[in-house]
Structure 1
């Protein structure tokens, strides 16, 4: 009996030790796992500069343009192409960005893309005599409309959206504004720079007249800065209420703007600045209608678009707005 009792006690003791060791091992593994996670998070957070901003998720992302500095202000080696691109973007956006939502820079123009409507919020260009003059080496007929693959497939438009829609693929940055290089013209055919426009009477007529007028401004000004974009304006209907209604086309539901705007700033040789602003309805317009009929106060476009244009220019320092003298200049 004594021997049996001794054996039971030994087995019980060994079992207790084994179970205790197993529990200890499990606790150690859990502690090690938690420690590793905490260390990895600490390491990750230490590599990211996070400001204490209420309302912003810690790991949220904001799509915005990164300021590009001229080569002399950059630290470290800069490739010639990157340096040239940064310099050109700085030149185009000399007077400020209207917004920073999904900014996309091309070689000769910059745009902000509206992923919901599949049409740009705005497109910015800088024109001079050199980039609008005739260039026999540039052939527009070689250009093809292409989807912009830098945009997520969920949010980009496709040529199929325009097929049998009844609308032209209308340029925002005009192809005729970028004749310096074949590549520059070709880039204006990316669909991120395109919007559905009524063809006869608008895109091929009135809107084309406005684009040609803007190019002619390079005869008067040394530098011309152009911002172009869509508007979706309200209209009073039979019940007396105002509604914003617009058509969408294709499987990607590309929005058809009700109107389009252009805001232009011309800079003279003596650094005086003059501004003109236009809004055109996306409908057939009679050829006899003068362009001045579509001039509007710039602030009316800003209110409608929800954007501030040329915000680095104080309005009271403009010499003229829509041909009329303003300010103290």
Structure 2
């Protein structure tokens, strides 16, 4: 009898252990994916959603810039979530006993807590001029370009702890940014255009917190990207930078399109420019630690780059400044800024620090 009790306790412990680690990197997570993949492969083949294409708006806008119908699109994105919440309230909590045990024992709902408030220091920003439309969200700041309906640059601080957790893209919809003076582009501007709604600040950078991940779906953080580009080399670069953030603990990332007059446009309601090039700049600068500061930049054409290596698109920050007309990291000490922006070394970032 006693032995049966011990066996039962061990079984419950093993189940709890598996449930806790199934979503984490490692052998248990790999095992869980393999097992669930066997049972779900047939269903996934027929119902798999494109993770780079969020659901179309529930209520397509008929508005032009400045009209109140934008309110309908912004609020429609929360309609499903509200309905689901109300249904769950009416029906009661249908969570499985194992989910309840997991949440109680392992406290998995603490993912919204991080040890940092997300503030971005002044040295991480490009030079800001009078008249620039600066939009600040909780964990990123951007300069929006009304003439192009995309951001000129987006800056965010990326900590290694932000990159892990249980936040999900789920049914997040791309929504207009109400902070933009004359309203941002709409998700509907991209519908049937042949272009992805490309994140500048990646949703995957904030797996720690659902609120922060959802915030990346504001249309002020989006620009048109060729699907194979967005889902290929661009995603690979984003993933590599997350790996660097885990290693280096904290990085500053500046991302944006190269804007110029005469770019082609898409859009049912607004003229959204389709950039020919995108850039991404990463800075490691922790002077209090005594570690050597580093900077790396990528400049890539907005086209399918299958088979191309990401390090072949590494350029100096000076080259990105020349292409964009922007002055990056303008408040870094002059000697550090000049030295870092002139050199962009792939090997400095890929070798073990």
* Distance in 1 between residues matched to 2:242 and 2:175, nearest whole Å: 25
Partner of residue 180, structure 2: 151
Partner of residue 297, structure 1: 316
Match for residue 249 of structure 1 among 251, 257, 266: 266
Following superposition, the deviation at residue 222 of structure 1 comes to 2.6
State the SS of the aligned residue for 1:210: helix
Match for residue 178 of structure 1 among 200, 206, 212: 206
Match for residue 142 of structure 2 among 111, 119, 122: 111
Structure with the higher fraction of residues in helix conformation? 2
Give the TM-score taking structure 2 as reference length: 0.59
Following superposition, the deviation at residue 270 of structure 1 comes to 2.8
Following superposition, the deviation at residue 316 of structure 1 comes to 4.9
Match for residue 265 of structure 1 among 283, 286, 291: 283
Q: Deviations over 1:72-122 (max 9, x none)?
A: xxxxxxxxxxxxxx963344x443443351111111111111111000010
Q: Kindly indicate whether the alpha-carbon contact (under 8 Å) linking 2:200 and 2:256 is maintained by their aligned counterparts in 1.
A: yes
Give the TM-score taking structure 1 as reference length: 0.63
Structure 1 gaps, min length 5: 1-85, 234-243
Q: Kindly indicate whether the alpha-carbon contact (under 8 Å) linking 2:158 and 2:251 is maintained by their aligned counterparts in 1.
A: yes
* Distance in 1 between residues matched to 2:271 and 2:340, nearest whole Å: 40
Match for residue 157 of structure 2 among 126, 148, 151: 126
* Distance in 2 between residues matched to 1:203 and 1:276, nearest whole Å: 20
Following superposition, the deviation at residue 272 of structure 1 comes to 1.7
Following superposition, the deviation at residue 208 of structure 1 comes to 0.4
**Bigger RCO (CA 8 Å, 6+ sep):** 2
Q: Kindly indicate whether the alpha-carbon contact (under 8 Å) linking 2:252 and 2:284 is maintained by their aligned counterparts in 1.
A: yes
Q: Kindly indicate whether the alpha-carbon contact (under 8 Å) linking 1:128 and 1:218 is maintained by their aligned counterparts in 2.
A: yes
Residues 7-156 of structure 1 aligned to structure 2 (within 5 Å) = 88-91=118-121, 93-100=122-129, 101-133=132-164, 135-136=165-166, 138-153=167-182, 155-156=183-184
RMSD, aligned α-carbons: 2.4
Following superposition, the deviation at residue 180 of structure 1 comes to 2.3
* Distance in 1 between residues matched to 2:338 and 2:176, nearest whole Å: 41
* Distance in 1 between residues matched to 2:318 and 2:144, nearest whole Å: 22
* Distance in 2 between residues matched to 1:254 and 1:143, nearest whole Å: 21
Q: Deviations over 1:116-149 (max 9, x none)?
A: 100001000111111112x12x121131110112
Q: Deviations over 1:42-77 (max 9, x none)?
A: xxxxxxxxxxxxxxxxxxxxxxxxxxxxxxxxxxxx
Q: Kindly indicate whether the alpha-carbon contact (under 8 Å) linking 2:190 and 2:266 is maintained by their aligned counterparts in 1.
A: yes
Q: Kindly indicate whether the alpha-carbon contact (under 8 Å) linking 1:196 and 1:256 is maintained by their aligned counterparts in 2.
A: yes
Partner of residue 315, structure 1: 337
Matched, 1:205 2:232: yes
